[in-house]
Amino acid sequence: MLRYLRWAPSMWRSEINTAVLEMLAVQPGERVLDVGAGMGAGSVLAARGGATVVAVEPTPFMRRVLSGRRLLQRDRSRIEVVDGSAEEIPVADDSIDAVWAVNTMHHWVDVQRGVGEIGRVIRPGGRVLLVDEDFHDPAHPDHDRFGGEGSADDHHGFTMVDADAMGTLLSAAGFGDVVAAKRDVGGRPAIVVTATGA
């Protein structure tokens, strides 16, 4: 829990989640999925925009914070906080219009299974956006704090996700329009994977 408290301000509201929601162009009435929702930086934004959000989060502490935060939202009826993970998403097949994961890929214990689960729940043509910030890049504004060995905080052992490997996994799993690359998101260097459901 303590390791997450250090991150609390950026998990409550973050430029990267704002940028991700803009990239996904989530529409009112869509059913969307936030994988590893944390304190709900992305979920709350999507609900405000009129989407119905399934916020999947495996850590009980995070679910408690997000459930409390949900109660403060005018749009709370459109946010569902559920116990799950990338590897086990408690959502019906083909039921999601858009899915995102921000700074969670490096936590996934079984990446292939996570990709398979996202493929199962996303509807054909649905949008997928997976982003992990690259704190190791000296251009990242938080590089000195989270950038790895010798930095003030080693980002709780952040292991950089391999964009090529993720792209290969999604293509093999049958996703369409797969692009996996390093690029800026909200002014932050990141590993970014985009795809569409098959």
Ligand X SMILES: C[S@@+](CC[C@H](N)C(=O)[O-])C[C@H]1O[C@@H](n2cnc3c(N)ncnc32)[C@H](O)[C@@H]1O
The C-alpha atoms of residue 131 and residue 193 are separated, in whole angstroms, by 6
Question: How far, in Å, CA of 116 to CA of 146, rounded?
Answer: 30
Told to check if 107 binds ligand X by CB under 6 A, we report yes
Cβ at position 10, least distance to ligand X in Å: 7
| Residue 121 Cα distances to 83, 86, 118, 129, 162, angstroms | 16, 11, 5, 14, 23
Compare residues 38 and 189 and give the one whose CB is closer to ligand X.
38
**CB-nearer residue toward ligand X: 99 or 195:** 99
CB atoms inside a 10 Å sphere around CB 181: 13
Scanning 99-107, 166-174, 177-185, 190-198 for contacts with ligand X by CB under 6 A, the matching segment is 99-107
One symbol per residue from 52 to 91: x for binding ligand X (CB under 6 A), - otherwise; what is it?
-----xxx--x----------------------xxx----
Q: Which is nearer to ligand X, 78 or 176 (CB)?
A: 78
| Residue 94 C-alpha from the chain's centroid | 19
Q: Which of residues 108-147 bind ligand X (CB under 6 A)?
A: 108-109
Separation CA 166–CA 156 (nearest Å): 21
User: Which helix (H) or strand (E) is 96 found in, with range?
Assistant: strand 96-102
By C-beta, is 37 or 195 nearer to ligand X? 37
Residues in touch with ligand X (CB under 6 A): 7, 11, 14, 17, 35-38, 41, 57-59, 62, 85-87, 102-104, 107-109
